[in-house]
Amino acid sequence: MATPAGGLTFVLDENKAGLLPVLRASRALAHERTTDLQAQGIAPGTLDPDLLRSLGARGRFALIARDGRMLEPLSQRQAWRESGVTVFLLGKAWGNMKLGELSRRLLFLWPTLVDHAEQGGQGVAWRVAPTIPGPAANAFRLVTARRDEPDP
């Protein structure tokens, strides 16, 4: 799948690929720009630094990742910084949910996720809590700054 000209593409990591049909069926905002790693030519099991660099070299991407600690190893943080990919980190609580519940919560948060990705600029990362009820914005916490700013 090619990246839409000038557009931002949302990529679900291999652990969340089951959500792709749900997002498309729901007609979620930006669903036509939502894909998975395999559709981007990235093989299952590809190491995080390699997949970040690969996505970054291809265009503007926002990665929705199950690994809440993805950016903690220095080598992975460096690869992420170089890539410019926006990352949404779905922590352990997301991984313990059944597909139906995970889908319901992600659909609730999806419009806010898209807004953060499109307005936040490239090269930022957010932790996403599976928070319902309450305002969707409360589920997002910026955990890294833009490339030209030091981390908080």
Task: Kindly report the CATH number that applies to the domain delimited by 8-144.
Answer: 3.40.50
pLDDT at site 5? 40
pTM metric for this prediction: 0.83
pLDDT at site 145? 54
Segments making up each domain of the chain, as ranges: 8-144
Give pLDDT tens digits along the chain (152 positions): 334 445 889 998 877 667 777 777 776 666 678 888 888 899 988 999 999 999 999 999 999 998 878 888 888 889 998 999 999 999 888 888 888 888 888 888 988 998 999 887 788 999 999 877 778 889 999 887 544 444 44
CA distances from 84 to 32, 45, 87, 136 (A): 22, 21, 9, 25
Radius of gyration of the chain (CA): 14
Please name the amino acid found at residue 88: F
Q: Cβ-count burial of 19 within 10 angstroms (0-12 exposed, 13-18 middle, 19+ buried)?
A: buried
- Identify the CA nearest to 69 among candidates 95, 44, 45: 95
pLDDT at site 148? 40
pLDDT at site 139? 92
CA distances from 125 to 53, 72, 80, 88, 97 (A): 15, 12, 9, 6, 22
pLDDT at site 4? 41
Starting from the edge strand earliest in sequence, which strands make up the sheet with 34-36, in order?
34-36, 8-12, 60-65, 86-90, 125-128, 140-144
pLDDT at site 30? 64
